[in-house]
């Protein structure tokens, strides 16, 4: 991989936008190419953690910077910070990226899909078994219960005027009524059956 006149940061050269061996090095505002990431990081799929690996001289302006950086960082776990949305962020070439997208790129050696779902809903759990490629619709069908929900069951609310429990579900871009029921248990049962029928994930509606 060839690195041209990128800006010097912390003793190494951040890659400029260039093309080498048919591979584009991404601009800093985007996730770096997976080939570049695999030269920088090791990923543990069982824990979801990322580790710095020893970098080649091509990432540095001279041997002194190369020796300093590797002596200080190679083999260490990559530090992360929790963003406002609850996802872990890691810093690469002075730019922050979503850790689960970096993990996907390193593990599969490919550009991450647009939507990556944390199956168990824990946004800092980046084990590969907890990550899946989904459509936007699939992602919405594996969400935790809204904080505004008062019934304890997603898709069920109390109709004070009718004094009954109302169940509903969304599919095909619209909300559909499932009926009115005299008990919460009945409404919840119908709602769960509808979730199965419309391929909602089993974790949808969790706390």
pLDDT of residue 203: 81
Share of the chain above pLDDT 70, in %: 86
Structural contact between residues 24 and 33, judged by C-beta atoms closer than 8 angstroms: yes
Residue 8 has pLDDT above 80, yes or no: no
Position 35 scores a pLDDT of 96
Question: Contact at 8 Å (CB) between 3 and 23?
Answer: no
Look at residue 111 and tell me whether its pLDDT is greater than 70.
Answer: yes
Q: How does pLDDT run across 45-65, given as a tens digit for each residue?
A: 999 999 999 999 999 999 999
Which pLDDT score is estimated for 15?
43
Q: Tell me how many degrees the CA angle 177-182-183 measures, rounded to the nearest 5.
A: 95
pLDDT tens readout for residues 156-198: 999 999 999 999 999 888 899 999 999 999 999 999 999 899 8
Alpha-carbon distance of 94 to 76, in angstroms, equals 17
Task: Tell me the average pLDDT across 139-156.
Answer: 87
pTM surpassing 0.85?
Answer: no
Q: Is the dihedral of CA 95, 83, 133, 109 positive or negative?
A: positive
Cβ atoms of 155 and 169 within 8 Å: the answer is: yes
Specify burial of residue 109 (Cβ count, 10 A radius: 0-12, 13-18, 19+).
exposed
Q: How far is CA 78 from CA 9, 82, 100, in A?
A: 17, 13, 13
Residues 120-134: what's their mean pLDDT? 95
Q: Please give the biggest Cα pair distance in the chain.
A: 77
């Amino acid at each position: 991989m060839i690195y041209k006149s990128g800006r010097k940061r912390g003793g190494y050269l951040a890659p400029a936008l260039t093309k080498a061996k048919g591979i584009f090095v991404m601009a800093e505002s985007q996730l770096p190419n997976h080939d570049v990431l695999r030269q920088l990081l090791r990923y543990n799929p069982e824990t979801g953690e990322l580790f710095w690996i020893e970098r080649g001289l091509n990432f540095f302006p001279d041997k002194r910077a190369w020796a300093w950086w590797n002596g200080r960082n190679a083999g260490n776990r990559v530090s992360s910070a929790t963003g406002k949305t609850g996802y872990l962020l890691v810093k690469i070439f002075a730019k922050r990226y979503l850790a689960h997208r970096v993990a996907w790129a390193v593990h599969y050696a490919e550009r991450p899909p647009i939507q990556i779902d944390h199956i168990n809903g824990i946004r800092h759990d980046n084990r590969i078994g907890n990550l899946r490629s989904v459509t936007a619709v699939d992602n919405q069908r594996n969400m935790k219960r809204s904080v505004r929900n008062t019934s304890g069951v997603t898709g069920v609310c109390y109709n004070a005027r009718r004094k009954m429990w109302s169940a509903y579900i969304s599919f095909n871009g619209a909300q559909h009524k499932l009926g009115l029921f005299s008990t919460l248990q009945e409404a919840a049962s119908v709602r769960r059956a509808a979730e199965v029928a419309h391929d909602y994930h089993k974790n949808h509606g969790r706390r």
